[in-house]
Structure 1
């Protein structure tokens, strides 16, 4: 049986207690809005997925169907020409399954855009907690959820059957008064640890305090404030359509490479540059 990565019930409880710190959603949505503006296409049947779907639809100026990021997405097959997944795909137990569902919800030549946290996110906090826990307890438990690396995330688009797949990232550095202020912000975002394999006992105060010390020691600015990295990865793919550009079959090129590069062509076995 496949192991569950995310405790979705705990995630729902954390999100319900979140106090509306949405600045990262706003930043990611602005980036997506700019990308949509560059697409020479009008979208008439959009859908937005995620815990802040209403905020995303408003920021993108879309009259969109809004659905939660449940394991099974409430999307009708072939009903949409645009699907946006708003900064939540990193909490999916089956991200490929989510991408497949989005592709199936798209009409031919429909566009999918997903924003999610990537592998560089909270790297400072991850290091501080792991070092502190080993030092204080002699053991290690997952405190910060692992995020996908951009190369792996890009490969998911191909596995899900999208055409013209693209993955790129936008790093953001946010400064805080201290590590505890960062942790409070993560709670306000609903982005705290909900890994199924997390240690269920309360975090020992000694570990927390030592993690804060190590964070400040390694990642404080000259003015005493600390920095936190958030990497937002954007996945873009199109539902396959006959009208889209397709790669040429091997051997079907009509222009020789040598002609394109304006260099002499050498036959097999002939030494170039001799």
Structure 2
């Protein structure tokens, strides 16, 4: 692709190898990162605006998100499908499910079945697709969004969240001044993400954003919490092993984040979105072929109006 050609919506430079390693680390943990759990709670608070009672929920990369328990509480009778396309990460999730076997038995006794782990979403199987804090760290965003679309039934709903462009912006001048490359990729803004949804076949995307200011008492606390989120996915980040001297230099540089209240602070921009999978459109031509499944879907849709 040349510089004169238009890039697809949602295009972003992400180190795909680093993203895979990050997903493995997160899947090996019993809990999603602290920030992801907080965002999952905020997404769950938004669920009442979606007037669906799904029989199946597609959770995209649940090791990242941390919303499984809340989704089960909202939809106790729904089948939970855990979508994880990568074999090694899926194996880690399978181990987690085996470790939680007795809890799964108790869930079944209460009417909640254990999740089904899938590499690809069964076509049209779910009425709700859920992705929490995943999309910003995906190298091939169009492919991921197409997976969501394929797994949704007609008139099913997608809900997702991810980081926006203002996340960690205070680190950029520090890293530029020290010659350390980029501290994070250039996150995609919500308008381009909305275009990405439409490009993949979704309808009526609604996008929203929220800004958080997180504070810490010391550089060590800040670094500990950032490390728990996974790592730097920027392709032009500084490479190589870090020395003790580099860490000390970083700790001193982070002191510039200290505000009038005496605490270090960083900005987080959260992007929320939801959209629906519309009835399929049939292209009109001199001769138009319509499959029986398409015809049934259109007839069902017409009968609801």
Long gaps (5+) in structure 2: 2-10, 88-117, 280-297
What CA distance in whole angstroms lies between the structure 1 residues aligned with 2:53 and 2:149?
Answer: 18
Aligned-partner SS, 1:233: strand
2:137 corresponds in structure 1 to: 91
What CA distance in whole angstroms lies between the structure 2 residues aligned with 1:12 and 1:53?
Answer: 7
Larger Cα Rg: Structure 1 or Structure 2? Answer: 1
Matched, 1:192 2:231: yes
Identify, as 1 or 2, the structure richer in helix.
2
Matched, 1:34 2:45: yes
Aligned ranges for residues 221-236 of structure 1 at < 5 Å?
Answer: 221-236=259-274
Distance 1:70 1:155, change over 3 A: farther
Q: Which one of the candidate residues 199, 214, 218 is aligned to 1:159? A: 199
Distance 1:23 1:15, change over 3 A: closer
Shift of 1:52: 2.8
Aligned-partner SS, 1:123: coil
1:270 corresponds in structure 2 to: none
What CA distance in whole angstroms lies between the structure 2 residues aligned with 1:19 and 1:227?
Answer: 28
Q: Is 22-31 or 67-76 further displaced after alignment?
A: 67-76
Shift of 1:122: 1.0
Q: Which one of the candidate residues 49, 68, 71 is aligned to 2:84? A: 68
Aligned-partner SS, 2:174: helix
Long gaps (5+) in structure 1: 134-139, 245-274
Aligned-partner SS, 1:201: coil
1:6 corresponds in structure 2 to: 16
What CA distance in whole angstroms lies between the structure 2 residues aligned with 1:5 and 1:25?
Answer: 21
Q: Is 224-233 or 32-41 further displaced after alignment?
A: 32-41
Aligned ranges for residues 1-274 of structure 1 at < 5 Å?
Answer: 5-7=15-17, 8-15=19-26, 20=31, 22-52=33-63, 55-60=66-71, 61=73, 62=75, 63=78, 64-68=80-84, 70=86, 74-133=120-179, 140-189=180-229, 191-203=230-242, 208-217=247-256, 219-241=257-279, 243=301
Aligned-partner SS, 1:26: helix
What CA distance in whole angstroms lies between the structure 2 residues aligned with 1:35 and 1:177?
Answer: 32
Distance 1:54 1:17, change over 3 A: closer
Aligned-partner SS, 2:271: strand
What CA distance in whole angstroms lies between the structure 1 residues aligned with 2:81 and 2:213?
Answer: 32
Shift of 1:204: 5.2
Q: Is the 8 A contact 1:54 1:66 kept in 2?
A: no
Distance 1:162 1:94, change over 3 A: same
